[in-house]
Structure 1
Amino acid sequence: METGGQGFAPRTIAGVYAVGGTTWILLSDRAVATLVSDPSLVAIARTVNGWAFVAFSTAVIYGLAAQDRRSLERTADRLDRAVQQTSILHRILRHNLRNTCNVIQGNVQLLRERGDDLDDECVDAIEAQTDALLEIAEKTRLLRGVASDDPPKAVTVDVATLVDDRVDAARDRFQEAEFRVETPARAPARVHPRIDTAIDELLENAVVHADDEPVIEVSVRTGTDAVELAITDDGPGLPRIERAVLEADVERQTVHSEGLGLWLVRTIVTEGGGDVRVGGEDTSAGAVVTVAFEPPGESSDGWL
């Protein structure tokens, strides 16, 4: 039987009931025919046999269900402990990581102010690495917050306006990049409240993986079944790790820091009821990431 911490499978319970019931019927009918010779008592014997079968089957089903419930309770307890341990570990790492990076950044600033003979390249490398660590810590915090929002509350936004705003912000951050935007007048859709973070991450990812003078194409299209946001870069395409994060179940992937931002993107989009697709692998146009959002329905919670 399948009791190894996961309880009994439905087919196991059905199998036990079928085998036990069949065996009971065959043996009890034969016993009645052998032991009861008086025809007037046969009906009474069969009635008693029927009630005995009901009691037997009830006891079997109760025992299997009780065992299954105990197994589920043990599994729930293990999950609760795992969540608590993960939460504690997250707080410890976030606290220590942030404090360490702040100390390093403070000392780097002191070195810049005090030393004229310092190797600026080394100082720049230290500063870049601490910035990267702080960014990882922040994305981890956001990811945990999105994943723990149960159930997530989707909101209705105008994706066209939101994309225009996020592209304007990206132009300020990445002045070396050219953004070509095509959006309709309106594109209402149901999204996760942190969808702006996901769009920022996709725009940044497109710039990072594009050529030296990036050209990023951003388009929003509306349809009866979905509102689609497509972001295309002119680079060599997404690395294998990052493509796997967007295309597969992230729980089955070994997610490195390079894929953490896209893991956040996928989580935000899917928790809001959307979907992410990756294209452009077999073309020279670079990577194409398409996000599909649900159109607004009657259950809309209002505009973000």
Structure 2
Amino acid sequence: MSGLVALSSWLAVGSLAAAGGTVALVAYLWRHLGKPGAGWFVATLVAQALFCLLAGLSLTVADPGSRLVLEALTWAALTWVGPLFLAFALKYTGRSGLLDGWTVVPVAALASLVVATAPANDVVLRNFRVDPTGPAATVSYALEPWGLFAVAFGTGTAGVAVALLLDTVLSYGPLYRREAAAVALSTVTPTVGVTMWVFDLGPDPSLAFVAVMFVPHVLLDAYAFVGSGMFETNPTTRRAADRTAIDDIGTPVLVVDPDARVVDYNAAADPLLESGRDGTTLLGTPVSELVDLDADPVADGGAADGAVAGGTDPAASAGDPGAADELVTVRSGGRRREFLVSRSTLTDPKGATVGTTLVFQDVTRERRREQRLDVLNRVLRHNLRNKMTAVAGNAELIADRSDDDRLVDSADIIEGSARELIDIGEKARAFEQCRRDGPRYRSTPVAEVLSGAVADYRGAAASVDVTVDDDATAATDPQLLRLVVANLVENAVDHVDDPTVSVTATVDAGELRVTVADDGPGIPEAELAPLDAGTETQLNHATGIGLWVVQWSVDALGGTVSFDSDDGTTVTVRLPDGPGGLDGTGSGSLNGTGSGGLDGTDSGPASDDPDT
């Protein structure tokens, strides 16, 4: 009996301690109001604190009438804890929708009202009596249907909240795991207390341990919110991203099941996959009716309106090896568009394949640019070169056979201009060949490549010195390296009278560094401005193509180039000793995906119509 007396004394102390700890936690969390779920959780703690406080105070009241009123108010406060905790879990985990906090509030209000008026009704409890255990005024009674409903509603909503938090623990990884797990575990001890009270478990049916069981609950909550900062980050952001990521992006996305039927798609897929279909949804449609991913590519103009054709584009498969993108052509609404389709497999938690995600990347404009560049390169390689060769030859013939000095001068000018155009075409052709082949990395003797690059210019310069260790090697593309050095040396030779040019190279710490310096007046700012801007305009453009070839080649190798024109010109090229830029899509690249390429495009907005 003495043990029960001591235990009853600790019930009051523990209840008041739980109330005090909860109030302190409310004070700490008050600054987080406005963050997802914070308001609902603070409300939960207020109801919890009120319950614990009333539970502790009621143990000091022995008058049956007064004690019945306090007991009713105590359990009315507890009735709010579960629903408010569920409202917090819904908001915190980003699941507020049809079921949210305000959905359960009316039910909680009704249940708490009925419980609070228990002294005036007979639907909540019966056989109420005060059974003092030592110094504490403990009570005993039996629950009626409304009382059982209030208990079931409170514990049931709390159980759903715990399930939502556990789902967060399992779904969102370590970012929220400790905090959500602590909050979920904090409900265990109050649940044990309620169970003991409802089923008359424990040393004495009159001893209600529920309020005392909130002490470990408060400690676990304090760990989650004070020690780990649960409201500093929350899973609402990630859940919102999971829900809207596909819908909000402008890239068409299809999700298909193992039978290749569409089970989900985003709004961007609607105009892409019209194909003359009736209705407003693609759900359940076999993907083969929309996109033929296995057929051969259809030639331009060969697909009827609404038809879809496709085929693998080996050149476009720069992604995952073995997971090459496929090129598909879609004609819809009178427009022809081309897309690269990438696949990713969807698996369940056990690793079984449950479907596939198809992502469509619109490459229509890039393909158009490729076509234009192909035509322009052909013009440079054949038409322009052949015609300019004929012009230069005839101008030279006129100069040789004419006695008129003015005519000879004019012929020399014509021949010089023609040779310059031929040289531009040759530079473009050389880089285009390297671009099409892609950077081919191999162990390259740096001294040999640099000596070959400057060989054609030694006679035109007062001095062209190459300084590099004879045994220096670097993993790079020798053709692109030769293009870079040759164009830089040619730039110095062509624009400086009797120049002295020095070419030095070092290989150190995984980097090949090449410096080309001359004693001329320096490269004009107008020549470098387009390179810095990454594009050319009618008012801001270079006079030749040599510096662009340097920039494109360095970009293709994943390196950098810098110019110093304060005292002569010093150009420093840094290249990684190994693959560093395999795509060659740097500023002004010849593949048409950058600015300032040979197609003459500038940085202005392009038409939305790919056929313009």
Could you give the per-residue CA deviations for residues 246-280 of structure 1, whole angstroms, max 9, x where no partner exists? Answer: 6x36x33447453411111122223223322222x
- Residue 252 of structure 1, aligned match among 535, 539, 563: 535
User: 1:296/1:196 Cα in 2 relative to 1: closer, same or farther (>3 Å)?
Assistant: same
* Separation (CA, whole Å) in 2 of partners of 1:45 and 1:64: 34
Matched with 2:442 is 155
Say if 1:186 and 1:101 are closer, same or farther in 2 by CA, change over 3 A: same
Counterpart code for 1:252 = T
CA distance in 2, matches of 1:83, 1:213: 41
Matched, 1:276 2:561: yes
CA distance in 2, matches of 1:204, 1:57: 54
Identity of aligned residues (%): 28
Q: Which residue does 1:15 correspond to in 2?
A: none
Match status 1:29 vs 2:315: no
State which of 195, 204, 208 in structure 1 corresponds to 2:494.
Answer: 208
Taking the aligned partners of 1:114 and 1:66, their CA distance within structure 2 comes to 66
CA positional deviation for 1:125: 0.2
2 CA distance for matches of 1:110 and 1:259? 27
User: How far apart are residue 82 of structure 1 and its match?
Assistant: 2.9
Q: Which has the larger radius of gyration?
A: 2
The one-letter amino acid paired with 2:535 is R
- Pick the aligned partner of 2:451 from 164, 169, 193: 164
Query: Would the aligned equivalents of 1:190 and 1:273 in 2 still touch at CA under 8 Å?
Result: no
| AA in 2 matched with 1:288 | T
Per-residue displacement from partner, 1:231-256 (whole Å, max 9, x unpaired)?
2111111111333456x36x334474
Correspondence 1:29-178 to 2 at 5 A: 29-34=101-106, 39=150, 40=152, 43=156, 60-64=244-248, 69=253, 70=268, 73=360, 75-92=362-379, 94-112=381-399, 114-117=401-404, 119-150=407-438, 152-172=439-459, 174=460, 176-178=461-463
The one-letter amino acid of 1:185's match is D
Measure how far apart 1:216 and its partner are: 1.5
Q: Distance in 1 between matches of 2:545 and 2:487?
A: 10
Post-superposition offset of 1:81 = 2.6
* TM value normalised by structure 1: 0.70
| Aligned-residue offset at 1:120 | 1.0
2:576 equivalent to 1:294? yes
Q: d(CA) in 2 for partners of 1:56 and 1:223?
A: 48
Q: 1:21 to 1:94 in 2, by over 3 A?
A: farther
The change in CA–CA distance for 1:35 and 1:97 in structure 2 (over 3 A counts) is farther
Distance 1:29 1:288, change over 3 A: same
Is the 2:441–2:578 contact (alpha carbons within 8 Å) kept by the matching residues of 1? Answer: no
Aligned AA for 2:486?
A: D
Cα offsets for 1:91-147 (capped at 9, x unmatched): 345544224313322432442455443621100000011111111222222333444
- Aligned-partner SS, 1:252: coil
> Alpha-carbon deviation of 1:35?
5.4
The answer (yes or no) to whether the contact 1:156–1:190 under 8 Å persists in 2 is yes
Q: Which amino acid aligns with 2:104?
A: V
Cα displacement (A) at 1:190: 2.5
Which structure's relative contact order is higher, taking Cα pairs within 8 Å and 6+ residues apart? 1
CA displacement 1:189-242 (0-9 Å, x = unmatched): 1222322122111111122233x2221222223433423222211111111133
Contact 1:206/1:231 (<8 A) preserved: no
Q: Which whole-Å CA distance do the structure 1 matches of 2:100 and 2:251 have between them?
A: 28
Structure-2 separation of matches of 1:282 and 1:218:
18
> What's 1:190 paired with?
475
CA distance in 1, matches of 2:410, 2:474: 47
> 1:234 pairs with 503, 516, 519, which one?
519
* 1:225–1:294 CA contact under 8 A, matched in 2: yes
Seen in structure 2, the aligned counterparts of structure 1 residues 287 and 59 have a Cα distance that, compared at 3 Å, is closer
Please give the alpha-carbon distance, in whole angstroms, between the structure 2 residues aligned to 1:79 and 1:33. 56
Aligned residue identity for 1:264? V
Q: Is the Cα–Cα contact under 8 Å of residues 21 and 57 in structure 1 kept in the other structure?
A: no
Q: Are the aligned partners of 1:209 and 1:233 in contact in 2 as well (CA < 8 Å)?
A: no
Structure with the higher helix share, 1 or 2: 1
After TM superposition, the structure 1 = structure 2 runs for residues 1-12 of structure 1, keeping only pairs within 5 Å, are none
For structure 2, the 5+ residue unaligned runs are 1-89, 112-148, 168-238, 254-267, 270-358, 580-612
> CA separation of 1:261/1:46 partners in 2, compared to 1, >3 Å: closer, same or farther?
same
CA distance in 2, matches of 1:66, 1:130: 48
1:274–1:291 CA contact under 8 A, matched in 2: yes
**1:35–1:153 distance in 2 versus 1, CA, 3 Å:** farther
Q: Secondary structure at the match of 2:440?
A: coil
CA offsets 1:62-112 (integer angstroms, 9 cap, x no match): 533586544884632232233223323443455442243133224324424
- Of the structure 1 ranges 75-84 and 263-272, higher mean CA displacement relative to structure 2 is found in 75-84
Letter in 1 for 2:101: D
Distance in 1, Cα, partners of 2:240 & 2:153: 22
CA distance in 1, matches of 2:247, 2:508: 53
Alignment TM-score, normalising by the size of structure 2: 0.38
Counterpart of 2:423, as a letter, is: E
CA distance in 1, matches of 2:488, 2:553: 12
Asked if the contact 1:188/1:295 (under 8 Å) is kept, the reply is no
Alignment partners' CA distance in 2, 1:111 and 1:57: 73
Map of 1:179 onto structure 2: 464
Q: Calculate the aligned-residue CA RMSD, in Å.
A: 4.0
Q: Distance in 2 between matches of 1:167 and 1:93?
A: 24
- Residues 253 and 20 (structure 1 numbering): CA distance in 2 closer, same or farther, change over 3 Å? farther
